[in-house]
Amino acid sequence: MEGSIYRYMKVGIVHFKAFPETVQGTGPILETLRRIAEDDFFTAVEVGWIRDVKVRLEAAHMLKVSHLEVCYATQPAMFSQKLNLNSLDPQERKKAIKQVFNCLKEALDLGATAVRIPAGKDPGPEKREEAKKLLVDSLAQICEYAREMGDPFITLKIFDRDIDKESLIGPFRDALDIARQLKPQYPKFGLLADLSHFPLLKEKPEEALPLVKDYLLAFHIGNCVMKDRRHPLYGDLQPRFGVEDGEIDVAEVAAYFRLLVDMGLVGPEKRPVLSAEVRPLLPGETSELILANAKRVIREAWALA
């Protein structure tokens, strides 16, 4: 690809994946976040919940000084508590919405420009349409509250439906249904497409992305293992690029970059955040090695795209 990657996108990393010891909102958050903030390869970072308000405000200052664009991911809070924004149980859905409201407050503290949100579990074909209506209602409440909390972009992240996360959203056609209903009233709502989830969904980027082109606001790149259920990394575990029996390496990332450019989804006029979501999983893998792996793959893939 001609020109610097930074003309086309803001290159990010998902902090709590690269440093999984922070995923519960505790641990060495400041120390690990500093390693990213001091690395000028990255121009964006995605952070999860930070339970201690003092630590959160220290992190906010560090991120502001570093000039990183900050995105906030609700997944650590939502997944660890098994919260479901499309639960058929009204009390469970209310609990999930309340947690996202709390996350929006944290995102405001951190100066986040966007907040990532996952749908809840898929209830099965008989209840799916009802669950989608409930998800739309939950997201509308969230979008309304977000306007009072700094008005960040709200991005629904697309997950797998039947392998690991078993998420309602889910296939891109269902994501399209949700986005169509919300976007007219909430212009800052959109979708996030993750390269590592296409194999898990049995969908191809070149076929799925055009369906939701008008609603895509952000992107992830990552890897997955899905051909062998006996594999220790089977499912949506975000292993490093090029891991044995994995689906995503330099060639796939390069093709994704080329597709995003060709579709006009990245470029000087837009420059959305595109983050690597990878983590150390196997013996001998460290956060530093995983970060170096991701940076090399991004550089090489852009050069080959």
Q: State residue 69's pLDDT score.
A: 98
71-91: pLDDT as tens digits:
999 999 999 999 999 999 999
Q: State residue 220's pLDDT score.
A: 98
Q: Which domain holds residue 177?
A: 5-304
Q: State residue 1's pLDDT score.
A: 80
Q: State residue 2's pLDDT score.
A: 81
Q: What is the largest CA-CA distance in the chain?
A: 52
Distance CA 216, CA 218 (A): 6
Number of domains in the chain: 1
Query: What CATH number is associated with residue 151?
Result: 3.20.20.150
The amino acid that residue 141 corresponds to is Q
Burial classification of residue 2, based on how many CB atoms lie within 10 Å of its CB (0-12 exposed, 13-18 middle, 19 or more buried): exposed
Residues of the chain under the 70 pLDDT cut: none
Burial classification of residue 43, based on how many CB atoms lie within 10 Å of its CB (0-12 exposed, 13-18 middle, 19 or more buried): middle
